[in-house]
């Protein structure tokens, strides 16, 4: 690895440790990622974004720390430093191997994280989902929170951006009015909040590490719905282990579409394409 002076200097300011070498990391959709080799021998990941939204990296760091409080929960990278312009994390060395036993362990760990719970629906501070602001102000129930903090804000933004048709938007709005009848009551779970397969890293330690949270207190079926929306290797094994450790309410598979509306609308806002139409099609199932 060579040494990129600007990234190295900023990391040294935050860590108080010399940076021996740096290397660019491919694959980030939002931030610029740089691999750091520290004089201590540790390897770290630095994510930077010029003119980042206020609180952007601080929210990521806070989410990682909050999720990491759970003993026996999902593995997460340690936060080494966070500032308004960047975050520095312990490096997760990935593997091409995807052993079934790692999926089983992940299902158990995810159940443990969810079961640790949250004090309320939402979180004390707002966050981000991708580049988009994500409101977290609490509400009195999960159906209310899911409607006014998750579905409707992104539905409005998708309409404003021309990413969803009026008929598909009407189908989503119709479901919102029925959420209290469709979703069983549970206490708030400690959610990752953006749990798609790109945020699940299969490590060389034969464990699945999760990154880039949009954490808050919510219904645990949200994380599970996102895993099913974009897929994960050995997902049936994950779910079997999860359900054994923290049994799900009857009918959870039939409700996956309800909690997929949020990520689909977020994707419609960010990428357009067919995500708005897909949200409308799923919403129509619950009419």
Cα–Cα distance for residue pair 148/154, rounded to 1 Å: 10
Q: How would you classify residue 244: left for phi > 0, otherwise alpha for psi between -120 and 50, otherwise beta?
A: alpha
Per-residue pLDDT tens over the stretch 104-129: 999 999 999 999 999 999 999 999 99
| Contacts with 138 (C-beta within 8 Å, 6 or more apart), sequence order | 120, 121, 122, 145
Q: How distant is the alpha carbon of residue 11 from its chain centre?
A: 25
Cα–Cα distance for residue pair 115/67, rounded to 1 Å: 11
Residue 41: pLDDT band (50, 70, 90) is: very high
Query: For residues 82 and 30, which has the higher predicted lDDT (pLDDT)?
Result: 82
Residue listed under structure tokens 């897909």:
278
> Quick check: 217 and 118 in contact, CB under 8 A?
yes
Residue listed under structure tokens 């699940």:
200
> Quick check: 157 and 269 in contact, CB under 8 A?
yes
Residue 2: pLDDT band (50, 70, 90) is: low
Cα–Cα distance for residue pair 102/117, rounded to 1 Å: 23
CATH architecture of 100-284: Alpha-Beta Complex (3.90)
- Beta strand 79-82 pairing with 43-48: unpaired
| Residue among 168, 181, 194, 254 flagged as catalytic | 194
3-class DSSP state for residue 287?
A: coil
Instruction: Tell me the pTM.
Output: 0.95
Give the pLDDT confidence score for residue 193 in this predicted structure: 98
Q: List the beta strands (DSSP E) in 9-99.
A: 19-25, 32-38, 43-48, 79-82, 86-90
47: β partners? 33, 87
Domain boundaries, the chain: 5-90, 100-284
Q: Does domain 5-90 have CATH number 3.50.50.60?
A: no
Give the pLDDT confidence score for residue 1 in this predicted structure: 54
- pLDDT beyond 60 at 283: yes
Is 166 labeled as catalytic in the residue annotation?
no
Per-residue pLDDT tens over the stretch 217-275: 999 999 999 999 999 999 999 999 999 999 999 999 999 999 999 999 999 999 998 99
């Amino acid at each position: 690895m060579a040494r990129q002076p600007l990234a190295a200097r900023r990391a040294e300011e935050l860590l108080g440790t010399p940076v021996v070498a740096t290397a660019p990391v491919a694959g980030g959709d939002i931030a610029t990622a740089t691999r750091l080799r520290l004089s201590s021998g540790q390897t770290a990941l630095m994510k930077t974004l010029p003119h980042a939204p206020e609180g952007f990296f601080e929210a990521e760091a806070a989410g990682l720390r909050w999720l990491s409080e759970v003993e026996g929960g999902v593995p997460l990278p340690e936060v080494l430093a966070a500032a308004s312009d960047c975050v520095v994390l312990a490096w997760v060395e990935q593997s091409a191997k995807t052993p079934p036993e790692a999926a089983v362990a992940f299902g158990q760990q995810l159940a443990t994280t969810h079961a640790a719970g949250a004090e309320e629906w939402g979180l004390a501070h707002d966050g981000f989902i991708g580049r988009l602001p994500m409101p977290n102000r609490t509400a009195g129930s999960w159906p209310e929170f899911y409607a006014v903090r998750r579905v409707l804000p992104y539905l409005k933004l998708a309409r404003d951006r021309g990413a969803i048709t009026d008929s598909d938007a009407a189908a989503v709005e119709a479901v919102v009015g029925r959420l209290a009848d469709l979703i069983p009551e549970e206490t708030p779970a400690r959610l990752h909040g953006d749990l798609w397969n790109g945020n699940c890293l299969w490590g060389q330690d034969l464990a699945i590490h999760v990154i880039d949270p949009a954490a808050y207190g919510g219904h645990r079926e949200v994380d599970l719905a996102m895993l099913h929306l974009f897929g994960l290797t050995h997902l049936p094994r994950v779910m079997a282990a999860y359900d054994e450790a923290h049994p799900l309410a009857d009918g959870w598979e039939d409700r996956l579409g309800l909690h997929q509306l949020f990520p689909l609308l977020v994707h419609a806002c960010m990428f357009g394409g067919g995500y708005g139409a897909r949200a409308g099609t799923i919403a129509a199932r619950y009419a």
